[in-house]
Amino acid sequence: MELARYSSRRRANGIAVFASVSATVIGMAILAVILGVLLWKGFGGLSLRVFTQMTPPPGSDGGLLNAIMGSLIMTGLGILIGTPIGMLAGTYMAEYGRHEKLTSVIRFINDILLSAPSIVVGLFIYEVMVRPMGHFSGVAGAVALAVLVVPVVVRTTEDMLVLVPNTLREAAASIGLPRALMIRQIGYRAARAGIITGILLAIARVAGETAPLLFTALNNQFFTSNLNAPMASLPAVIFQFALSPYNEWQSLAWTGALIITLSVLALSILARSLAGTRKTS
Amino acid sequence: MVDVAWQHEDEASQDVAERARVLQKLKASDTFFRILTRSAAIFVLMMLGGVIISLISGSIPAFREFGFSFVSTQIWNPVTEKFGAVAPIYGTIVTSFLAMLIAVPFGLLIAMFLTELCPLWLRRPIGIAIELLAGIPSIIYGIWGLFVLAPFFADHVQPTLIAATRNIPVLSTLFAGPPYGIGIFTASIILAIMVLPFITSISRDVFDAVPPVLKEAAYGLGCSTWEVMRFVVLPYTRVGVIGGVMLGLGRALGETMAVTFVIGNAHKINASLLAPGTTIAATIANEFTEAVGDLYTSSLIALGLILFVITFIVLALARFLLMRIEGKVG
């Protein structure tokens, strides 16, 4: 009787362990298959042409230059707009209002913005920028990305400044440094690695965003540096080309997907190693 | 104070009037910085307010025209300008539900492997791999789903499913019809793959927060690994795990690109999971730029508002639960 109970417990444990190991193996296998297919399909189309020519009309050769440039411009601008706002807000929450009710409200709202559907952000910017301006534009795309950057930067800035030891602040205050100077010269310096990690993660997040660009920046067959005109971006081009029936377009979509994935993965690995060195030192 | 702050500037003066002027300047810059950071913080609040207000104002024409029937009818006809949101709402809920049905057990099992079974040297690489999976942009899952997963499902998985469930009453309705490859079923699988890393990493974090002494006591009594998980770790971390699941659900509900590629964009509720359908996010992504006429655009924005309200509630609930567990641990 005892023995039967013992062996049934053993069996239950064996099943659970087996399920746990297989779930992990399946998870890893999926990651391997996704990256493998991406490399296999994407590398075929990777050549210098991709970086030097514009997106082609159907049926002819071309590259992704305008899409890559558009992505760089809009991501860069989005980061430039979003980072200062996020850093300042995070600074207030960690330095001035750490125990205020306002701060917990903002933290709660910020966490929701952090995982809110990005397509809703696209609709928001459409309503406040595209509709009043009367046309799609690169600058609207950049602002939409900035809205996604802010919550990421707020979160990391606050987290990192809270980690700065209070003794540093007290030391600065004791020699008479005004608070604003103390934050800028002591706080930011101590939290620098963490804040940079946050910015890198924000870049990685928005670089692959498609949904908010679809109806803000739209797309463009040609290169433009005019922020007032529709602008191409890698994700939007991938979306258009992958769903098209043309082979050349589909192959370019895979190449674009490879470029995006590699840059996003490189950014997150860089961010991670930066955060890692900070922890060990 | 002046001396320290101004030490790197040659103009530091002993003159009393000059010192007072510099002090005044420092005080002003201090106030300015405080106001600046405070306005930035309030700006974050206003961003959420702006999203809500602009969605509401954009959707007023649709709600005025259709009233309550917007959320109770299934017709979606741009030609006659009749719009009802039931099909996309149904698709959003069904795909997310199925995705969670698959991803939650998988995520918990992987988290169990990482915290209880995995050899130490393997823990970091697998953890990093899971987080890489979370970092891949959703459009990559979309293109992968369209060109790899959908054909594979159409040729191998779905015919088998249809044949295997032919004589079983409920399942034969769920898995009926031609194996298109694209549809609710494939979209749910893609969503499950996408939310798996979120659920795994949050579950792992809350599992790690269980005091070792609790687990050691259970092991000391002779519990097996499974029994420790089932009777010690899971009850202890229940709130956190539910929070993590809700967070994953919030992601799944609002996920756009991955779903848009494989859902088929059909405004129809079909009993079969293999049939094409649509979700709120996929409808907006597919139709917004082609929408002509104010009523069409407004209906799509109204869809966005519904999506935002649903995800807001789910995410707020998730944060609330996770905040409770953070308070407990910290």
**What count of residues does chain A have?**
281
Whether the Cβ atoms of residue A91 and residue B38 lie closer than 8 Å to each other: no
Query: How do residues B122-158 score in pLDDT, each as one tens digit?
Result: 988 898 888 888 888 999 999 999 999 999 998 888 8
Quote the pLDDT of residue B7.
53
Task: Please indicate whether residue B211 or residue A46 has the higher confidence score (pLDDT).
Answer: B211
Say whether A264 and B136 touch across the interface (CB within 8 A). Answer: yes
The structure tokens 């990305």 sit at A145
Whether A59 has a pLDDT exceeding 80, the answer reads: no
Whether A29 has a pLDDT exceeding 90, the answer reads: yes
Say whether B143 and A238 touch across the interface (CB within 8 A). Answer: yes
Quote the pLDDT of residue B55.
94
| B133 interfacial to chain A (CB closer than 8 Å) | yes
User: What's the DSSP call for residue A64?
Assistant: -
Say whether B301 and A117 touch across the interface (CB within 8 A). Answer: no
Say whether A120 and B147 touch across the interface (CB within 8 A). Answer: no
Whether A257 has a pLDDT exceeding 80, the answer reads: yes
Alpha helices per DSSP H over chain B: 2-5, 16-66, 86-112, 120-135, 138-144, 150-152, 158-164, 169-174, 184-208, 212-220, 225-228, 234-254, 257-262, 280-287, 294-329
Query: How do residues B76-92 score in pLDDT, each as one tens digit?
Result: 888 888 898 999 999 99
Whether B329 has a pLDDT exceeding 60, the answer reads: no
Task: Calculate what percentage of chain B has a pLDDT beyond 70.
Answer: 94
Whether A269 has a pLDDT exceeding 90, the answer reads: no
Whether B270 has a pLDDT exceeding 90, the answer reads: no
pLDDT band at B17 (very low <50, low <70, confident <90, very high): confident
Quote the pLDDT of residue B163.
83
Quote the pLDDT of residue A200.
92
| B240 interfacial to chain A (CB closer than 8 Å) | no
Say whether A178 and B26 touch across the interface (CB within 8 A). Answer: yes
When scoring A124, A205, A246, A258 by the number of chain B Cβ atoms within 10 A, the one with the most, hence best to mutate, is A124
Quote the pLDDT of residue B14.
64
Mean pLDDT of B97-123: 93
Query: How do residues A184-199 score in pLDDT, each as one tens digit?
Result: 988 999 999 889 989 9
pLDDT band at B330 (very low <50, low <70, confident <90, very high): very low
- Which of A20, A88, A120 lies closest to B36 in CB terms? A88
Give the helix/strand (H/E) hosting A212: helix A211-214
Say whether A235 and B301 touch across the interface (CB within 8 A). Answer: no
Identify the CA nearest to A210 among candidates B222, B279, B177, B257.
Answer: B257
Task: Please indicate whether residue B30 or residue A280 has the higher confidence score (pLDDT).
Answer: B30
Residues 15-34 of B with CB under 8 A from A: 26-27, 29-30, 32-34
Amino acid code (one letter) for A142: A
Per the structure block, which two tokens stand in for B63? Answer: 């709600």
Rounded distance, CA B186 to CA B153, Å?
8
Quote the pLDDT of residue A277.
59
pLDDT band at B181 (very low <50, low <70, confident <90, very high): confident
Please state the pTM of the whole predicted model: 0.90
pLDDT band at A115 (very low <50, low <70, confident <90, very high): confident
Query: How do residues B282-310 score in pLDDT, each as one tens digit?
Result: 999 989 888 888 899 999 999 999 999 99
